[in-house]
Chain A
Amino acid sequence: MSAFFEIKNLEAGYGNSKVLFDVSLKIAEGEFVTLMGRNGMGKSTTIRSIMGILKPTAGEIYHDGTRIDGLASHKIAKRGIGFVPEGRHIFPNLSVRENLLMAQIKRGSANEWDVDSVFDFFPRLAERMSNGGDQLSGGEQQMLAIGRALMTNPYLLILDEATEGLAPIIRDEIWDQLGKLKAMGVSILIVDKELDALSELADHHFIIEKGEIVWQGDNQALMSNPAIHEKFLGV
């Protein structure tokens, strides 16, 4: 498969503190890719750099053949890169429905996401459609954050710590839904620590250590190599 999203030798940091030294990764259309690593290794910094929230100091990011590093954050999202940030970040002063409606980007293709299809995908949200964002449970907020990203009809969905802090039963529900998104052909880049769940869904894995991609491979290569788990993931 050819890459429709690619990062080449990305470097980034905060002020004088450099966090990413050499991050390169590729995602093919419809692929489910993970970015794993221990805390503080640069996973979220990579995601923030992709989304234009943090300006890279070196390297290149391409989407569909177009260089996107240096673009304003909202322009990157408009290109079709949906983002579910760590901590959910839904808007507490808007209702569930308003949170979704506000995010809608129509791309003129068939089977686009709209409020009804998001409610079909997450029936719990339909039950809470008039509730304020701050009246939802953590799991419901995560569903809303994913639903809101889907409303932008993304070609690539990026999730940062999508299941962190959620009850196991809710986590399972989120994983099930991500599996359905994969089956629909949505490309996904996910940062998470749940190796078991990721191994069932992911096509390809990247492991980041001290700001560099130190290992990459397919699912079989990762699962058949416990030394990698121990060395880089602390599992």
Chain B
Amino acid sequence: MEDSLKAKLANFFQKPKIVILIAYLVIGTYLCLLMAINFQSQTALQKSTLKRIHLDLEKRAFSLGYFFSERKHGLESIATSKDVLSYFINKSLGMSEAYGLKVSLFVIKQILLKTLQEKSIQGDPIYMRLLLVDTSGRPLIDTASESQEAFFFSSVKTAPSPDEPPIVFIDQENNKIKLVLKTPCILQGEVMGSLISILNLDTVRKHFVDFSPNPSLDRFDLVSNDGRIMRSDDAAQCPDFRELTSMTIHQLPEDQFSLIKFPSERAHAKQMMVTRVTIHNVPLYLLSWVEKKTITGTLTPWQSLLGTAFLALMILLGIVKLVKFNTENLVLQTRYDESKRQQHRLASKNQQLKHEISQRQKIETELEEQRSLQMRSDRLRSLGEMAAGIAHELNQPLVGVRGKAELTLLSLAQEGPLVPQKIENNVQTIIEQVDRMVHIIDHVRLFARNAGKVEISRVDLNDIVCTALTLVMVQFKSYDLHLEKILAPRKLFVLVNPFSVEEVIFNLLTNARDAVESKKKEAGQNYRPDISIRTGSDELENQKNIWIEIKDNGSGIPESIIPSIFDPFFTTKDPDKGTGLGLSICKSIVEEFGGTIDLESREGEGTAFIIHFPECRTPTETDETIPFP
């Protein structure tokens, strides 16, 4: 059971489509998981960023609170210093500036100037101005230079109470906000004057408010309790908080960010995330504001999620395409590799083939040479076969020549000088016989030299047959064989090499002779061998053909060996009787001239070889115009 299940599962997973589908599912699940994690991360990141900003804000507020605390203490220490008190003591003693008080003021001024110079943060002065004023607000000491505006603070006119701690307040004079620290100078429980410091707002902003590791991300502002913003001049980057009322700012919750839209006149209204933190012991807030899109980006988390989903889908499709592409690529690559291998194999085979071809060519050349030799040998053998005929043919004219010559001598001996005419007749006969011999010898020479060559000419086939027969007739007679010649009544022009065709005819007649001789031995005396040679013409498929038939009533060819009869070296004769090349040579000669050679044979009855050549007619020749021999 389990095995079958395992087998089923194994079978199931072996199906490629299933595997791919599962792979896609896994990838899809993975991408969905990534999207979900990304969404969560985005949300968490936003919250974390806001939290970080708020934390940073609190730290800054704490730093500022500490800073103001230090300033208050500093001012207090000056206000309670021996030098300041001595002035007020001396004043209380009734001393005048003309006689003694000036010194105190001078000393106090030196202290204030020293404080002005020494109190700095990284080279930036903390104080812009220090003053000692009396209860009416009249400056007793002012560190300001003569070029600076005279001191006049409306809020300072009010005499502070002895219990009033050093305070920080904002004074707005001529639309300039000043950050002022004031502490009373108390002598014996009575307020004698006030020590006032005007803080350098730029230094405060630079070192506590404006610096930010991410100025593009978050910005800060100092705000008074009543909502007045101690803004920088960098108005281009700061949202126009004037659109916010002081109440609005005052009502902003301290522990969270509020989203505020600015319906500004600018092209795009801004959405700002704003929060504030109170600075300890001073009537100031630290306001933090950041553009919403800086936190959330131009896309909301949901938009981002959808975008991510779309992206995931595209990735998935991309993977599908890629897989498909890779698969096709792989297939192509495989095919390419295979074709390369095939090419190599082919090249190797080619090389092998070339080698074999060259070997074969070499062998064929040798074979051709052998064959040529064989053919020559065969031809020589044929020539040898023809020798008797040739000898007989030559003998006859020689006998004639001898006879005429003897006759002439006899006539001369008997008759005395011969009549010129008779001499001329005898000599003419001798010349004719010699010409006949010359012709025979030339023919034999030409046969030996040209048989097998390809030079062709337009010849009458009947002439070729007659010439061939003259060479074999004597032989046939010697064998007591009857050779019947039936030639076509008209000329049969063919485009062949006459000597090669003579060779063919000679070979076929020789085979016929051997066939009838063989049968004669078996058949006994009642057998009458018969060999015939005929020529004629016919028309097959609109092609005029000339044919030669060489027929015998010999032993015939067994049907089983007929298919091999034209094969080279195929012979049924003893090795000394034949090379087996005769019929092969005949076939090649015939086919060389565009002809065909066929045979009809019946074992024990005889054989007929039929050779067809295409008739060679001039364009004007017809059956009627071709002359008769």
Are the chains A and B members of one assembly? no
A residues within 8 Å of B by Cβ? none
B residues within 8 Å of A by Cβ? none
